[in-house]
A and B are shown apart, each in its own frame.
Chain A
Amino acid sequence: MPRKTLLARFTAAVATFTLLASLCISPAAAAGKLQVMTATTDLAALAQEIGGDRVDVESVAKGYQDPHFVEAKPSFLLKLRRADLLIVVGLELEIGWLPPLITQSTNPKIQVGAPGYFDASRFAKILEIPTGAVTRAEGDVHPQGNPHYWLDPENGLRIAKGIADKFSEMRPADAAYFAERYSAFEQRLKQADQQWQAQMKPYAGRKIVTYHRSWPNFAEHFGLNVVGYVEPRPGIPPSPQHTVELIGQMKRDNVKVIVVEPYFDLKTPNSIARETGGTVLVLMPSVGGEKEITDYFKLFEYDIAKLKQAFDATK
């Protein structure tokens, strides 16, 4: 009778399964390069700056993708399970897709709180931390502050320092190498930042409108003034009423530049631009947003060049 053998069969099945599993244990890559996965391309770019040829870095999200809405595809699991280190943006930016990936990765090294879990937000200066009651009447708010903090070179440097320390801790033998790379990165970034600041100086205090609240750190660093948003609330699609109000505000304040992230629809921004005589500017919030933005420096170069152009055109 089948019932007598059910348990025995199950035991056999589990045994086979376990045997199969033990046969294909992945070869440990401990001695090789440090395997680093990051949530976003910006963190990957920073990790690459510090890690050089001693690390393999890959990002889950693409630079032209909305980092709030990444799909937790199983193909990422294959990469995550081999990772020694997972660098995340934090502040609940990845709350919609990263937790199941981490759990399913079956990689003890990168579980939350494990040595291989690195939350970059702990090293950065965070803006827009809400005070008082936080409700979703405000839209998709991030109770721990605005997670788009990487768009400030100073934060980039802070995060890079954190990454350098982390790498050194995980690969003490290469500590000097990472320290050297960090120093070089710091120097290059400082020089670049001086140029960027100089380029942006003539436009200090210029008012802009952005689609999503992705740019507070960028605006603060480069002295821009974000006076409004195309979204009525973070994560809420534009509404006619809000758009009318925004147009009125832009006309009153003489705001001419509407900054849009590459993953948002341009219909509403374009109609606002038509009404206000302004211009829509697609800026890249992340490395890899355009093909030519291959590293952290090119990200700022690209955005600043675009901004200059737009400001000059809309004087």
Chain B
Amino acid sequence: MKRLLLLLALASFPLEAQQSPPPPTARAHPDDDSRLRLLEEQVRVLTDEVAHLRSQMQSLQQTNAPGTTPGQVLLASSRIEPSSLPASPEAPAPASGNVSPAGPPPAQVAQTQTYGGASSNAKLLNPDISLIGDFIGAAGHNDVSPSRSLEMHESEVGMQAIIDPYARADAFLSFGEEGVNVEEAYITFTSLPAGLLLKVGKMRAEFGKVNTIHNHALQYIDRPLATNNLVGGEDGIDDAGISLTRFLPAPKGWFAEGTAQVFRGDSDDVFTANRRQDLSVVGHLRAYRDLNESTNLDLGFSYARGHNNAGLLTSDPSAFLTNLYAADATLRWKPLRRAIYNSFLFRTEFFWSARDQLSALNAFETQHAFGMYAHSEYRLNRRWTIGGRFDRSGRADNAALTDTGFSGILTYWPSEFSQIRGQYRYGHLFDTATSRYDNANEFLFQFLFVMGAHGAHPF
């Protein structure tokens, strides 16, 4: 009750004050007079201060973004004075070769000042940070390669930034159910002479197409059987090394690019470096052509060579090599006027694996296995995409065993930043435990979500 009274009193106070303003001419009491003078003095001080601040703000605005003074009608009034425009923030680089203490690029400074924006200045130099959550569930029957019913498959943290005027860097750390893995972390030197692009760090090798794609950017939930059987599974050829890429001369209308990479030689179960000099190499040639503005063709040939783990128990473990060859072809169609509604993609990849190993009779042999997949998808409208994939692959260590599979995929996008996908997967897979082929029928589903600014992926 007391509290209520107090509240009422408090509430009525400003009301009263409003209702009975002091008469403007009241100057009876000397006490009032002096108080009034005091108030006047305070108002004057405040006015001065406001004027001072305003002038400061104006001068700041002028130095930062003179071209963007709002409300100024340029066309109707006078022309822009050259002096009122930014003094070309991107001043030409000093003519001398001395570029070592190349402070922050002037253009960036100007950008941050003009943009202002919501973040505080201290955060502006942070890298673009993103997290992509990848939740996968599975139901149905699969005795050969069962996956968990429900799992937070991975949470991929991406950090991307421009390092200095000569390089940018990208790092992707994937937090899975079993631990943390540096999926990729590399620096890219963008300002090399002769059109060379150098990448150094840990990266997904340029071996075919699907090997270069992160899990969340795949058009299906699982990886093709051929990837699992021949090219190292989910992570594929993903290793620490150095990569050099350059455009190659090509006939008119074609784009050609060559990539040469050298890695330490440790990539899941494809390559194993038994000694320091057991490096693995990857070469990739790409040819691309726009058939018209909506349709294009993308072709690639890849080669990889490294040591494997088949000779671990032998006297010369480094004698066992794996050679991998791949060819990929992609046909894309996306009408420019309706790019967000309809598109079509067909992609196929062929893999040939030649793996040195010991036969059942302990003799040195090379297994030649072949694998392929063909995938096609059509975007029905802004939110729905339907796709299918056919899989067929031998096993790297026993080419006589061939797994076959088919998948139907349906994807729904609530927005650009989340994705819901279902996949029916049939597999005719060889079960080594029972030494016979087994049929697998499964339903997979996936929820993907993106936080933060995840940089765009290469085409």
Residues of A within 8 A of B (CB): 1-3, 6-7, 9-10, 13-14, 17, 20-22, 24-26, 62, 64-66, 69-75, 77-78, 81, 90-91, 95-100, 102-104, 106-108, 111-115, 117-119, 121-126, 129-134, 136, 139-140, 143-145, 153-154, 157-158, 161-162, 165-166, 169-170, 186, 189-190, 193-194, 235-237, 262-263, 265
B135 sits at the interface (CB 8 A): no
A76 CA / B249 CA spacing, docked (Å): 15
**Cβ-neighbour of A122 out of B65, B191, B340, B382 (below 8 A):** B65
Cβ contacts A to B, 6 pairs, < 8 Å: A10-B281, A13-B283, A17-B260, A144-B117, A157-B74, A189-B75
Q: Would you call A74 and B457 a contact (CB within 8 A)? A: no
B80 CB → nearest A CB, Å:
5
Q: Would you call A71 and B334 a contact (CB within 8 A)? A: yes
8 Å CB interface, B154-198 against A: 162, 165-166, 168, 188, 190-192, 194-197
**Cβ-neighbour of A66 out of B249, B340, B453 (below 8 A):** B340
Residues of chain A within 8 A of B79, CB atoms compared: 186
Q: What are the interface flags for B64-91 relative to A under an 8 Å C-beta threshold, 1 for contact and 0 otherwise?
A: 0101111001111001101001101111
B383 sits at the interface (CB 8 A): yes
**Cβ-neighbour of B458 out of A104, A154, A265 (below 8 A):** A104
Residues of chain A within 8 A of B286, CB atoms compared: 74
B417 sits at the interface (CB 8 A): yes
Q: What are the interface flags for B235-266 relative to A under an 8 Å C-beta threshold, 1 for contact and 0 otherwise?
A: 00000000011111100000101101010000
Q: Would you call A123 and B86 a contact (CB within 8 A)? A: yes
What 3 A-B pairs come out closest when comparing CB atoms?
Answer: A113-B105, A108-B191, A72-B459
B217 sits at the interface (CB 8 A): no
Residues of chain A within 8 A of B195, CB atoms compared: 21, 25-26, 81, 106-107
Known: A3-B319, A106-B246, A161-B67. 13 other contacts (CB 8 A): A20-B258, A97-B456, A100-B458, A106-B245, A114-B105, A117-B90, A122-B68, A125-B68, A126-B68, A143-B119, A145-B117, A153-B75, A157-B74
Q: Would you call A22 and B118 a contact (CB within 8 A)? A: no
A206 CA / B44 CA spacing, docked (Å): 44
Q: What are the interface flags for B194-223 relative to A under an 8 Å C-beta threshold, 1 for contact and 0 otherwise?
A: 111100000000000000000000000000
Q: Would you call B321 and A263 a contact (CB within 8 A)? A: no
A190 CA / B334 CA spacing, docked (Å): 39
Q: Would you call A113 and B162 a contact (CB within 8 A)? A: yes
Q: Would you call B416 and A235 a contact (CB within 8 A)? A: yes
**Cβ-neighbour of A21 out of B196, B262, B298 (below 8 A):** B196
B73 CB → nearest A CB, Å:
7
Residues of chain A within 8 A of B255, CB atoms compared: 74-75, 77-78
Closest residue on chain A to residue B107 by CB atoms: A113
Given A25-B194, A193-B75, A3 and B260 touching (CB < 8 A)? no
Given A25-B195, A75-B255, A66 and B288 touching (CB < 8 A)? no
Q: What are the interface flags for B367-382 relative to A under an 8 Å C-beta threshold, 1 for contact and 0 otherwise?
A: 0000000000000011
Q: Would you call A74 and B459 a contact (CB within 8 A)? A: yes
Given A73-B296, A103-B188, A129-B117, A119 and B75 touching (CB < 8 A)? no
B111 sits at the interface (CB 8 A): yes
B144 sits at the interface (CB 8 A): no
Residues of chain B within 8 A of A73, CB atoms compared: 288, 290, 296, 459
Given A95-B453, A115-B93, A262 and B337 touching (CB < 8 A)? yes
A190 CA / B74 CA spacing, docked (Å): 9
Q: Would you call A129 and B116 a contact (CB within 8 A)? A: yes
Residues of chain B within 8 A of A189, CB atoms compared: 75
Q: Would you call A190 and B107 a contact (CB within 8 A)? A: no
A190 CB → nearest B CB, Å:
5
Q: Would you call A24 and B278 a contact (CB within 8 A)? A: no
A91 CA / B337 CA spacing, docked (Å): 23
B110 sits at the interface (CB 8 A): yes
Q: Would you call B162 and A106 a contact (CB within 8 A)? A: no
B338 sits at the interface (CB 8 A): yes
Residues of chain A within 8 A of B69, CB atoms compared: 125
B163 CB → nearest A CB, Å:
11
Q: Would you call A157 and B191 a contact (CB within 8 A)? A: no
A39 CA / B282 CA spacing, docked (Å): 34
**Cβ-neighbour of A24 out of B110, B248, B415 (below 8 A):** B248
Q: Would you call A106 and B190 a contact (CB within 8 A)? A: yes
A285 CA / B48 CA spacing, docked (Å): 46
Given A72-B456, A122-B89, A122-B111, A130 and B67 touching (CB < 8 A)? no
Given A64-B336, A65-B337, A7 and B67 touching (CB < 8 A)? no
A157 CA / B68 CA spacing, docked (Å): 12
Closest residue on chain B to residue A111 by CB atoms: B190
